[in-house]
Each structure stands twice: as C-alpha cells, then as structure tokens.
C-alpha cells in the first residue's frame, strides 16, 4: 500500500508516533496487552500454552464459564439463532430481550430497564438522549470514558468536578442557567481506583437542586450490598437513583448494558435513543446468558460474601506487605506505581511468576498515576489470593527501589 501522499499529513505523524511507542515497549519485552487467552478455568487462564493465575478479572462473582449459563446461551442459539432480524424497534425484538429487561428491573428495584449491545453504548445512548445544547451535565473527573464521551457528544455544557467532591457538584448545579435540564452522572465504584461515590451526599444535592441522578453500577452490581444489588443496597437508600446503568460483562458474564428507571424513561429511550433505534439487538445467546446469570446471582448470594472475603484478604495482605492500599468495599485494588516503566516491569515480572495483571498506563489513567489494578473474584480460592498477595509484594519490593529516583507515587 502506498502512503507517500500522506507523509505531510499530521494524522500520519500521530499514527506513527503511537506505533513507535508500542514497538519500543514490545522490543523491551514489556508489552502485556492483547494477550491471546486460549482457555479459562476458574480464576486461571491459559496463554501460549501456560496456565497463569488471573489477578485482573471483571467476572467478580466467578460466573464466567458456569455450566448453567453456557447451557442457557446454547439453548437460545438453538431456538433463535446467532443474531436477530436487525434492530429491536423493528423486527429484531425477541421475548428473551423482554424477559431480560423485566428480570433486570425486578432484580435492581426499578420500574423498567432497556438493554443495549454494550455498557459503553448504554451510557452514550442515555446521556445523549436526555441532555443537549442548553443543558448542563455534571460528571466526576474519574467517571468512565463512556460517560464522558456521552456528555461530549450530547452538546450539553459539561462540568467535570474534582473526584468525589459533592460540594463541587452542588456548586455546578447552583450555577446552571434557569430553564436548563440538569443531569449528574457518577460511577458507583470508580473503575481504576475501586472507591465508592458518596451516594447519600450526592442524592441529597440532586434532590435539593432538582437534578436527575444517573449512576453507573458496572463495578458495583454483584459487589456492593450483601445481596449484590448494588450501591442503593450498600447505603440502604433504595429508590433514590433516577437512572441506574450497568455493563453486563462483569459480574454478569456476558455482553451488553442496561439503563433502568421509570417507565416513561424506557419509552423515550426505546423510541428515540440512537443506539437503540439504529443498532442491532443484543444476540439471543448473550441475552440468555444474562438471564441465567441474574438467576444465579439471586439464588447464590453467598458468592457476594465469598468475593468480599477475598477482597478483604487481598487488601489486608498487600497492606501487611508494606503497600499503600485503601480500605474500599470493592474488588478493585490499585497498586500505584506512578511511573509507566515501573508498571510495565512489574506486570512482566508477575507474569513470569505465573500471575497475570496487565499494567495500566496513561491515557487510561492520568499521567504519573500508572498502576497495576489488582482484582480478585469469588472464584479465587484462599490459596489463589495468597499467591497473588505474595507475588505482588515480592515484585513490588524488587521493582520499587529501581524506580524510586523517578516518580513512583506511593
């Protein structure tokens, strides 16, 4: 392919610069992204024929690979096929999709739910439908990229407030012009840090300022609340969030995302949100997998407790080994290295020792806050958790001194 005519185009420079950055990391044998997983068994994955312990799973309740879920998915493929006849609004809707939406709504305590093909799409769809030019949308600085993208695409005035700073939310709402629609969007559990939004304060502010409140439960569904029903259950504040959203690819081991709330909201989204009207339905196999997973979550709440025991052990074990780890009630435990190279080096050494935790560097996180984001699931045994703790601590104490003169953060 000839690309000479593109040589002076700035896009070419950007593309080439990024490729060089990737290539340099690969040359140093520090590239640990896009590893082709060949098989999974409980908390272990096989990569290049080698079984390693996964310390970076989103399948918090250990439901990925559950036979009941796989049987449900297979049965749905046999009954409905691998796809749908297009978008749901026209010929692509099935009774399975309708049942899934009712199941989600009942489980999380909402009137209705609308399912989209991914969590990313659900956030963009809902936010762009609800607000537009002349409105104000307020987000936490650390909200997920799909929330920020939805806000930017909406055309509303976006106010990004400092992390978990509810006074700043209050201020932003107070400054909103009269007559503007006002929406506040927050992650329940922040995906890179594992901390929890101050829901009681946020609900209070939104109610006082008459703003709609939307909360992304992608990392709290199945994790927060003794029943895994999420952040309202955790704080004992049922029925206080106007719009609840979650990915269906984490505790629920499938693909998709939902927006749940009052019936009128669902009617609007199903008839006007562009990702619903102009994009194909979730495949039946994935919808059936979600349904079976919600059944299991309801039937086996002990999985939530097992997860809790595992993340408590992980947090206290890492802390006992000299790492600075916060005390959040979630499965995401960041080990901040600050420096990109420290994160890349730690991840490589962990992998060589049989523990797979890909490094997270900017732009996924702010510059100088690179990290290993360690997670455990209900599928990890106590011995697995100990193995992760032991290996992370040993690797940290090896790598941290090497980078101590640079910018290792904590």
Ligand X SMILES: Cc1ncc(COP(=O)(O)O)c(C=O)c1O
> Cα 350–353–359 angle (5° rounding)?
15
Instruction: Pick between residue 116 and residue 403 the one whose CB is nearest to ligand X.
Output: 116
Q: Which residue is nearest to ligand X (CB)?
A: 119
Instruction: Pick between residue 335 and residue 360 the one whose CB is nearest to ligand X.
Output: 360
86-120: buried (b, 16+ CB within 10 Å) or exposed (e) per residue? ebbeeebbbebbeebbebbbebbebebbbbbbbbb
| Shortest Å, Cβ 248 to ligand X | 6
Instruction: Pick between residue 88 and residue 250 the one whose CB is nearest to ligand X.
Output: 250
Q: Compute the half-sphere exposure of residue 387: CA atoms within 13 Å on the CB side of its CA.
A: 19
Name the nearest CA neighbour of 407 among 341, 348, 363.
341
Instruction: Pick between residue 60 and residue 351 the one whose CB is nearest to ligand X.
Output: 60
119: CB partners within 8 A, 6+ apart: 146, 216, 218, 245, 246, 247, 248, 249, 256, 257
| Shortest Å, Cβ 55 to ligand X | 17
Instruction: Pick between residue 247 and residue 339 the one whose CB is nearest to ligand X.
Output: 247
Q: Hey, what's the torsion of the CAs at 356, 362, 368, 374, to 10 degrees?
A: -30
| Shortest Å, Cβ 207 to ligand X | 24
| Shortest Å, Cβ 244 to ligand X | 12
Instruction: Pick between residue 375 and residue 395 the one whose CB is nearest to ligand X.
Output: 375
Name the nearest CA neighbour of 182 among 155, 220, 210.
210
Instruction: Pick between residue 25 and residue 282 the one whose CB is nearest to ligand X.
Output: 282
| Shortest Å, Cβ 367 to ligand X | 20
Q: Is the dihedral of CA 143, 144, 147, 149 positive or negative?
A: positive
Instruction: Pick between residue 222 and residue 317 the one whose CB is nearest to ligand X.
Output: 222
150 φ, ψ to 5°?
Answer: -60, -40
- Rounded Cα gap, residues 375 and 391, in angstroms: 14
| Shortest Å, Cβ 68 to ligand X | 22
| Shortest Å, Cβ 301 to ligand X | 23
| Shortest Å, Cβ 94 to ligand X | 20
| Residues that bind ligand X in the complex, under the rule CB under 6 A | 118-120, 123, 144, 146, 187, 191, 216, 218-219, 247, 249, 257
Q: How far apart are the first and last CA of the chain?
A: 47
- Rounded Cα gap, residues 329 and 233, in angstroms: 13
DSSP 375: E
Task: Evaluate whether 355 touches 391 at the Cβ level (below 8 Å).
Answer: yes
């Amino acid at each position: 392919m000839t690309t000479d005519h593109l040589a002076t185009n700035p896009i070419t420079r950007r593309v080439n610069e990024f490729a060089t950055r990737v290539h340099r990391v690969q040359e140093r044998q520090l590239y640990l992204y896009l590893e082709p997983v060949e098989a999974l068994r409980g908390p272990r994955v096989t990569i290049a024929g080698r079984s390693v312990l996964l310390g970076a799973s989103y399948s918090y309740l250990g439901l990925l690979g559950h036979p009941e879920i796989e049987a449900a998915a297979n049965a749905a493929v046999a009954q409905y096929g691998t796809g749908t006849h297009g978008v749901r609004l026209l010929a692509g809707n099935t009774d399975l999709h309708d049942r899934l939406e009712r199941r989600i709504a009942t489980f999380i305590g909402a009137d209705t739910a609308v399912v989209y093909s991914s969590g990313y799409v659900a956030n963009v769809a809902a936010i762009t439908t609800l607000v537009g030019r002349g409105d104000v949308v307020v987000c936490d600085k650390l909200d997920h990229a799909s929330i920020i993208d939805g806000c930017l695409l909406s055309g509303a005035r976006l106010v990004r407030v400092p992390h978990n700073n509810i006074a700043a939310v209050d201020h932003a709402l107070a400054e909103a012009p009269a007559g503007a629609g006002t929406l506040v969007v927050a992650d329940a559990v922040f995906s890179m840090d594992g901390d929890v939004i101050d829901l009681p304060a946020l609900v209070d502010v939104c109610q006082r300022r008459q703003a709609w409140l939307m909360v992304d439960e992608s990392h709290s569904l199945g994790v927060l609340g003794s029943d895994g029903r999420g952040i309202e259950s955790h704080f004992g504040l049922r029925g206080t969030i106007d719009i609840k959203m979650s990915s269906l690819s984490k505790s629920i081991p499938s693909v998709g995302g939902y927006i749940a709330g009052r019936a009128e909201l669902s009617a609007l989204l199903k008839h006007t949100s562009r990702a619903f009207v102009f994009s194909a339905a979730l495949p039946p196999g994935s919808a059936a997998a979600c349904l079976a997973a919600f059944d299991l979550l309801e039937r086996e709440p002990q999985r939530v407790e097992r997860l809790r025991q595992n993340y408590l052990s992980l947090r206290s074990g890492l802390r006992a080994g000299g790492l600075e780890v916060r005390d959040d009630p979630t499965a995401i435990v960041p080990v901040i290295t600050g420096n990109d190279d420290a994160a890349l080096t730690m991840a490589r050494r962990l992998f060589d020792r049989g523990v797979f935790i890909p490094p997270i560097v900017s732009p996924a996180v702010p510059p100088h806050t690179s990290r290993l984001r360690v997670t455990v699931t209900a599928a990890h045994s106590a011995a697995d958790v100990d193995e992760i703790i032991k290996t992370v601590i040993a690797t940290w104490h090896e790598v941290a001194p090497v980078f101590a003169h640079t910018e290792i953060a904590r």
